[in-house]
Structure 1
Amino acid sequence: MSKILTAIDLFSGCGGFSYGFQQAGFHVVLGVDNTEVALKTFEKNHKNSKGLNLDLHKESSIDAIIDATGGKQIDVIIAGPPCQGFSLTGTRNENDERNSLFYSVFRVAERLNPKAIIIENVPGLLKLYGGKAKKEIIRLCDEMGYTCNPQLLYAPDYGVPQIRKRVFFVALKKDLGIFEFPEPILKEGEYIGCEDAIGDLPDLVSDLGKEEVAYDKKAFSDYQKMMRNGNKVLKNHVGTQHTDHVINVISQVPEGGNHKDLPMGVGDSRKFNEAWTRYHSKKPSKTIDTGHRNHFHYKWNRVPSVRENARLQSFPDDFLFLGNKTEQYRQVGNAVPPLLGKVLAEQLLKYLNYEI
């Protein structure tokens, strides 16, 4: 029987990316982040895993990671360094110290010598500042004996019901070859829409719900059945108390529409690109972000619950988010969809000479 492959998750947040690796059969030994509540969520949902609250700018943090692995062979380093410096949504500052956090990934790799490294980030990383970050990641990989293949992945292609495009760098020890990314499993027209993702969840119209509720409908799509996976109790599905003004405005936005579809003078307090966006039942959602004020349910006049956002991110229903509601939304929005992690982990197993 093959030994269980191991991974550590740097900048883990709640651990969406590495949860996909766990689903593919890896033991995720450690999650490292600087947000305590996200690490509590990580530990709650990862089996026999430890969360470490560390600042990865510091060399002492690298030592702490090595100590915490307890001499175990680590096969894969998973990392999603903060993307604010590269993102199109944040301010762009070439000298933002967060841009250099990917160096800490290589400092850890130098000490642990894994077979593979996977770095995830926003597409902007590829071109911003003349592509310096991309070139540097590839250079560091080569210097340390890895091939490196970056590629943009579009989440709906792999069964995630959300428009999310991210770049993944997959570095493999040179004797293992060059990583070829898995082929998409769906094409446009086959993508999973919001209704098939969240339409079986309680509507939260007559009341805001509570922290634990029972399902009140049967699952009617394969995706919903996969997310339930035999789970009986629904958690993190609590509604938001909106003002009459917000309810009045969003009630005037058609399915799939946004602030541009509102009558003159309505909803003028929010005019930016994503303002007053209502999802479309037959299409994937917009990119789930760390806030929760501008995207609305395809049918009901409210923002999606934490659980609905988690479903759109492909977190199964038994993945429990800890902390207050704002912290839960942030954990969901910061995550890599677990389903995407699982697809990449299963492809990686082929190169690591283990059967799925």
Structure 2
Amino acid sequence: MGKKKIVAIDLFSGCGGTSSGLIKAGIDVRAAVEINKVATKTYTKNISAHVIEEDIVNVSGSELLDKIKLKRNEELLLVACPPCQGFSSIGNGTEDDERNQLVYQFVRLVNELRPAYVLMENVSGMSKGKGKKIFKDVLKKFDLLNYEINSDILNSADFGVPQMRKRLVLHGVRRDIYEKMVAKDMNLELPKPTNINPSSKENPEELPVWETAGSVFNLPRLSAGEKHQSETVFNHYANGLSDINKERIRHIRRNGGSRDCLPDRLVLNCHRGKQGHGDVYGIIDVNRPAPTMTGGCMSYTKGRFGHPVEDRAISAREAARIQSFEDEFIFEGTNGEIALQIGNAVPVKLAKASGEYFQWLNRKLNEK
């Protein structure tokens, strides 16, 4: 069996978190599909793959094959991160949210393209929360298409990402390839952690402990509402903050980092007598991985996104670092558009870990 390289297509590519990780793993990402114009602009600024800016419903497998020009010595990896807001435990989506149906477009394109390998990332709620019924149906459809699947909830912190971000990761191989794996006594696996919880009692592989949020906060000082851009620092932009919120952030920082310490005069009416999302108005703890980045990650009022020492929410560049993007990765759009791209992205190092697994698997399968 001759050596074969992996070529990838990234569906629902967003700004390019997954593609960036796969490229770091040595995979040739040749095409992507994304409907959002601003995310596409960011993607094409940083990644050379051909991007189809279109609703995926209108994209066919034959069109994608025409773009990537797959050769006989190449194997296809089809990747997808379908919109997950309907499955998320944070949002108000339901099982009937129309965005949830987009995962079936991934299934359709797997059927049309018959890739050797498949990779999907989504929120944990897809497999054991609001989306459980849909996910079971998707697994059934993959089985009918003759794909072997392994999936689980992984924590991005276990892969060198300075963030607590639990996500569903799915690896799949076409069954004829899986039969070759069985013949070589190989199992279909998920990526192995590169980092470990510092509170773990055992660490037989002597892995380094989780990266903490403190590793990202060494950029030039920034005031709320200020933008810092230089030849070496990109997208270091902070949203503005009202005077009363500056007073709140100072008080919270001095008194433990959470809003439940606020004196009565600083408590918002909407928070009185309610628990709600307790992280809102919180300060990021530099001694732990950061909380999950969301589309509101640059807004102090939308989560535990307060800067640890400066009177502002984290900047776009700090949020991007928490998602393990390189500093050279440049985002396009307004502050709100950039925050949404960052919050929706797959952490680069998590995608890289999956990419490295498929590279390893492909090499093993091609050994004589």
Do Structure 1 and Structure 2 share a fold, with TM-score over 0.5?
yes
**Matching of residue 161 in structure 1 with residue 162 in structure 2:** yes
Partner of 2:361: 351
- Which one of the candidate residues 312, 321, 325 is aligned to 1:302? 312
CA distance in 1 between counterparts of 2:197 and 2:116 reads 34
Which sits farther off after the overlay, 334-343 or 61-70?
A: 61-70
Which sits farther off after the overlay, 203-212 or 324-333?
A: 203-212
2:95 maps to amino acid: E
Partner of 2:96: 95
1:55 maps to amino acid: D
1:277 maps to amino acid: G
Shift of residue 208, structure 1, vs aligned partner: 2.3
Contact 2:224 2:238 in 1 (8 A): no
Q: Go from structure 1 to structure 2 and tell me whether the alpha carbon gap of 1:130 and 1:13 turns closer, same or farther (over 3 Å shift).
A: closer
**Identity among equivalent pairs (%):** 32
Partner of 1:77: 78
CA distance in 1 between counterparts of 2:344 and 2:359 reads 26
SS of 1:150's equivalent in the other structure is strand
CA distance in 1 between counterparts of 2:224 and 2:53 reads 40
CA distance in 2 between counterparts of 1:128 and 1:69 reads 36
**Matching of residue 330 in structure 1 with residue 340 in structure 2:** yes
Contact 2:222 2:228 in 1 (8 A): no
Partner of 2:203: none
Which 5+ residue runs of structure 2 have no aligned equivalent? 182-186, 199-208
**1:115-126 matches, cutoff 5 A:** 115-126=116-127
Which sits farther off after the overlay, 338-347 or 123-132?
A: 123-132
Shift of residue 249, structure 1, vs aligned partner: 0.8
Partner of 1:225: none
Contact 1:9 1:30 in 2 (8 A): yes
- Which one of the candidate residues 283, 291, 300 is aligned to 2:288? 283
**1:20-169 matches, cutoff 5 A:** 20-47=21-48, 49-58=49-58, 60-62=59-61, 64-71=63-70, 75-128=76-129, 131-169=132-170
Shift of residue 269, structure 1, vs aligned partner: 5.1
2:172 maps to amino acid: A
Partner of 1:239: 238
Q: Go from structure 1 to structure 2 and tell me whether the alpha carbon gap of 1:84 and 1:116 turns closer, same or farther (over 3 Å shift).
A: same
User: 1:174-227: per-residue Cα shift (whole Å, max 9, x none)?
Assistant: 23344212332222222211112x1221121498243326xxxxxxxxxxxxxx
Shift of residue 240, structure 1, vs aligned partner: 2.6
Contact 1:313 1:337 in 2 (8 A): yes
TM-score normalised by structure 2 residue count: 0.84
Partner of 2:205: none
Contact 1:208 1:239 in 2 (8 A): yes
- Which one of the candidate residues 205, 210, 214 is aligned to 1:195? 214
Contact 2:217 2:318 in 1 (8 A): no
Partner of 2:299: 293
Partner of 1:216: none
Shift of residue 236, structure 1, vs aligned partner: 0.4
SS of 2:172's equivalent in the other structure is strand
CA distance in 1 between counterparts of 2:356 and 2:262 reads 45
User: 1:289-320: per-residue Cα shift (whole Å, max 9, x none)?
Assistant: 00122311112111111000000000000111
